[in-house]
Amino acid sequence: MEKVIRLHLLLTVKESAINVPQNIEARRRITFFANSLFMNIPKAPKVRDMLSFSVLTPYFKEDVLYSDEELKKENEEGISILFYLTKIYPDEWANFHERLKSEDLEEEKEELMRQWASYRGQTLYRTVRGMMYYWHALILQSFIESVGDNALFEDYRTMYSYGTNKELHEYAQAMADLKFTYVVSCQVYGSQKKSKNPRDRSCYNNILNLMLTNGALRVAYIDETEETKDGKSQKVYYSVLVKGRDKYDEEIYRIKLPGPPTEIGEGKPENQNHAIVFTRGEALQTIDMNQDNYYEEAFKMRNVLEEFRNRRSGRRKPTILGIREHIFTGSVSSLAWFMSIQETSFATIGQRILANPLRVRFHYDHPDIFDRIFHITRGGLSKASKVINLSEDIFAGFNSTLRQGFITHHEYIQVGKGRDMGMNQISLFEAKVANGNGEQSLSRDVYRLGRQFDFYRMLSFYFTTVGVYFSSMITMLTVYVFLYGRLYMALSGVEKEILQCPNIHHSKALEEALATQFVVQLGLLLVLPMVMEIGLVKGFRTALGDFIIMQLQLASVFFTFQFGTKTHYYGRTLLHGGSKYRSTGRGFVFFHAKFAENYRMYSRSHFVKGLEILLLLIVYEVYGESYRMSHHYLFITISLWFLATSWLFAPFWFNPSGFDWQKTVDDWTDWKHWMGNRGGIGISADKSWESWWDEENEHMKHSNIRGKILEIILAFRFFMYQYGIVYHMDITHHHKELQVFGLSWAVLIIILLVLKLVSLARRRFGTDFQLMFRILKALLFLGFFAVMTLLFVVCGLTISDLFAGIIAFMPSGWAIILIAQACKVCLKGAKLWDSVKELSRAYEYVMGLIIFLPTAILSWFPFVSEFQTRLLFNQAFSRGLQISMILAGKKDTYQSD
C-alpha cells in the first residue's frame, strides 16, 4: 500500500517552479536531505533513549568574528572582504537586507552584517552556529515527543511558545543538555583574556559572547600561572573549563597538568587531548575549526548514533563512524573549485570504497564520530609525539584498527567543510600532508598494520595511504632516470653507434607504444574518480561539462604542480626527516602574492627541478640522434615539457594579477631588495635572502649520515652535463682524452676563484674604497676580454662553445653547492662556507631572472592579465565577468553597469 500511495503522489502532485528556491545552495541542501531519507538509515529512538554525545573543536588564533575594519579594509585594487562576499553571494546579500527591513533590525545592522560575513567565511562563529544546531534539533525533537504530532500540527506557534508550554520547553532543554555537550578547546583563551593586544582582546570578547549566547557551549583552555613552592617561583599549567554566566565566564573545572602539553607534543592534537576529559557521553564527534553544519542534518544525529548499537553483517560494533563532507568553498575561485571537486570525490566515493569492501578506511580530518569510551581507554583520540605524529588524524584510525576496532562510513548525513582557496595556501597544505606521509612511512604503526593485515588488505592499505606518495616519488625518479639515460646515450655516442649499426633494426612499434603513454602521464586517468562522483550526483552530462571546463581553466597544470609539491616534501622527509606543521590560513585569497614570496616557497620544490628537466630536454634535443625529423619525439616528451613548464610558471598563472605590468615591476624591485639584504640575528626569512637560505637548509642539521650521503650521491648527477658536453665542444678538436675533462675542471675552478675574489673585494673595498673596487673590476674585465680573444683566435673557440660551456658548468656549480650544504657541519665557521653562500646567491639571481623573464614579457600584453583573471576567478563561466571586473580594479564600472 505504501508503494501504491507513493506512486499515486508521484503521478498526481505537480510542483510549481515558484516553490523551487532560486538559491543554488538551498536547492542542494533540500535535494540531499530528501534523497537521504530513502537511504538505509537506522530507526531513530526517542531523545531520552538515544546515546549521549559531545562535539570537540580545537581552536588556536583563527578568526572568530570579522571586525568592521577587516570587512571594509581594501587591498591594492580597492576590494574589501565585504564587497567580495556581496558579489559572490548576491542573492543572499539581497535577502539579508530584506530581512533587516521586514524585522526592523536597522539599528543592529553593523553587528548583523559582521555575523552575515562571518557565516560565509571559515570562522569559529560559523562552526559554533553549525554545531549548536544539534542542541536546537534535540530540543525540538524532545518537545515534539512530549506534545505529540497531532497537538503540534494543530497550532505549532502556540504550542512552541515559551509562555504557553514553559514546563515542556524546560524539560526539552534539560533533555538536550543531558544528551549533548559542545566543547571548544581554545588553547590561548587565558592569555587572550590577559592580553592588551587589540586582536587578542577582540577574540576573547567574541568567544565570551559565544558562550553567553549558547548555553550548551563550553570552552577549555590551558592556563599558565606562577606559584611559589619552597621559596622558589615556578610555572604551573592547568586545563580549565569555563561556561558563560551572566556577563562573564564562570570556571567549572580546573585540572593540574605535569607540564605545557602543546610544547611537549604537536600543538593541535595536544589542544584536543587536554580537553577530552571535559567531554561527556558515549560518542564524540571531532569537528575542525573550518567546518559547518546544517539544521536539517542535525535531526538525523539520533539515527547516526544508533550505528554504534548495530552489528552489520555480523561484524563488530563500529568504533569510528565516518560521515560525508560537503566542501562549501568551491564557488570562490577556480583553485577552490578544483580542491572542492578533489576533496568531494575523496570524502564520498573514495572513503565509501575504503570502508567497504577494502576495509582500510581510517580517520581523515574531522567530521568522524568516535566511540568515546573505546578510545579514551586506549590512548585517546590523537597521538601527539612531535614530528612523528604530524598527521595526527590518521594515527587515530591506525590506533583504532590495531586495537581490533571497526571503522565504517555512512553518507546519509553530511557536514560542511572549508578548504584552502589560494595557490600558496593549497601548497602549504599539500606540503604538510606529504611531510606527514613521510613520517607515517617511517612509523611503527604502519609497520605493525602491514604485519597484521592479510595479503589483499595489506595491498589495499599500501595503495590508499603511503603508497600514493611513494608511487608519486617513484614516478618522478623514473622521469629522471629516463631523461638522464637518454642524455648519457646522446653525449657518450652510444645512441649514434646503435643507430648506425646494421644489425639493429628501428622499432616503430616501440616508438608508438612510447608515444601513447603521454596520455597517462598527463594525469587524465586520475580524474576518473572525480568524473564518476559528479556523474552519480549530478548526472554524467554535467560531469562531462565540468571536466571540460576544468581543463579550460588549466586544472591539469594545477594538479601537475601539486604533484611536484607532494614528491618533494615526501622525499625530503624520507631522506632527512624534520617535518613540521605549516599554518595555511583560511582567509579569502583575492590579493596578489609577490614574486619574492613565490620564490621562497617554490624555489627548491619546483623551480630548481623544473629548470633541470627543461635543461635535460634542451640538451637531448641538441645532441640526440634518435628522433631527428620525427614526430614521435614530441609525443614521447610532451608530458615532460608540460611537467617542466607547469612547475615553473603555475604559481604566476594562478596568482591574482600575476600578469599586471605595474605589479610585475614592483615584484622585481621587491625581489632584488630581498636578495640584496643581509641576514642576521632577528631578521626573518621574508626580509632577507640569507636568512631564508639558512632556514631552507635547516633540515640538513638534523639529518643523519645516511641522508647526507644519499644527498651527495644524488648531487653527482649534475656532473654528467660537464663530462659529456665538454667533449662535444669545437675547442677540443674531437679529442677524447681524460685531460680534456681535467682541463674543464681547471676552468671551472678559475671561474669560482674569480667570483670569490670579486666577493671579497666587494666586502673589503665596496664601501670605503670604491675606486679600488672599480679598478679591480676593470682589470678583471680586461683580463677576461684578453683571455676570450686568445681562445677565439688561437684555440678555435666558437660561439656555440660559449653556450655549451654555460650549460656544462652551471649544473656543476650547483652540484658543488648541494654537496657543500650536505657537508655543512664540516664547513661551518670556515671562510669556505661564505664562498658557498655567495656562489649560491649568484645562482639564485640567475635562476630568478630566468623564471621571471617570461612573466615580464607576458605582462606587456594587457589582454593576458584580463584573460588570466577571468579564468582564475570563475567557477563555471557564469560569474567570470563580474568577479574578473572586481579583481581587475573596475569596481565603479561594475556598479554603474
Residue of 161 and 391 predicted with greater confidence: 391
Lowest mean pLDDT among 217-221, 261-265, 511-515: 511-515
Name the phi and psi angles at 38, rounded to 5. -100, 5
For residue 540, pLDDT over 80 is answered with: yes
Q: What is the pLDDT of residues 568-603, one digit of tens each?
A: 999 999 888 877 777 766 677 778 889 999 999 999
What's the distance, CA 473 to chain centroid? 18
The pLDDT value given to residue 543: 85
692 contacts: CB under 8 Å, gap ≥ 6:
600, 685, 686
Q: How far apart (Å, rounded) are the C-alpha atoms in residues 374 and 372?
A: 5
| Enclosing H/E stretch for 415 | strand 407-417
Q: Highest mean pLDDT range out of 122-131, 377-386, 749-758, 760-769?
A: 122-131
Residue of 301 and 685 predicted with greater confidence: 301
The pLDDT value given to residue 522: 55
Q: What is the pLDDT of residues 646-674, one digit of tens each?
A: 999 999 988 888 888 888 899 999 998 99
Residue 894 pLDDT level (bands cut at 50, 70, 90): very low
Q: What is the pLDDT of residues 52-89, one digit of tens each?
A: 999 999 998 888 999 888 888 887 777 888 888 888 88
Residue 158 pLDDT level (bands cut at 50, 70, 90): low
In the chain, what percentage of residues exceed pLDDT 90? Answer: 29
CA-CA distances (angstroms) from residue 721 to 296, 394, 490, 805? 64, 43, 11, 10
Q: How far apart (Å, rounded) are the C-alpha atoms in residues 384 and 399?
A: 13
Q: Contact, 290 vs 123, CB < 8 A?
A: no
The pLDDT value given to residue 893: 43
Q: Contact, 392 vs 579, CB < 8 A?
A: no
Q: Contact, 406 vs 321, CB < 8 A?
A: no
For residue 227, pLDDT over 50 is answered with: yes
For residue 502, pLDDT over 80 is answered with: no
For residue 877, pLDDT over 50 is answered with: no
Nearest to 590 by CA among 118, 127, 83: 83
Residue with cell 595489506: 458
For residue 43, pLDDT over 60 is answered with: yes
Residue 782: count of CB within 10 angstroms of its CB: 10
Q: How far apart (Å, rounded) are the C-alpha atoms in residues 55 and 184?
A: 8
Q: What is the pLDDT of residues 702-727, one digit of tens each?
A: 788 888 889 899 999 998 888 888 88
Q: How far apart (Å, rounded) are the C-alpha atoms in residues 302 and 51?
A: 8
Mean pLDDT rounded to a whole number for the chain: 83
Q: What share of the chain is helix, strand, coil (3-state, %, to 5)?
A: 65, 10, 25
Q: How far apart (Å, rounded) are the C-alpha atoms in residues 600 and 687?
A: 11
Average pLDDT value for residue range 635-652: 86
The pLDDT value given to residue 333: 78
Q: How far apart (Å, rounded) are the C-alpha atoms in residues 869 and 880?
A: 9
| Enclosing H/E stretch for 687 | none
The pLDDT value given to residue 892: 47
Q: How far apart (Å, rounded) are the C-alpha atoms in residues 320 and 418?
A: 22
CA-CA distances (angstroms) from residue 2 to 9, 33, 303, 384? 11, 20, 22, 53
Beta strand extents in 35-119 (DSSP E only): 53-59
Q: How far apart (Å, rounded) are the C-alpha atoms in residues 584 and 587?
A: 9
545 contacts: CB under 8 Å, gap ≥ 6:
none
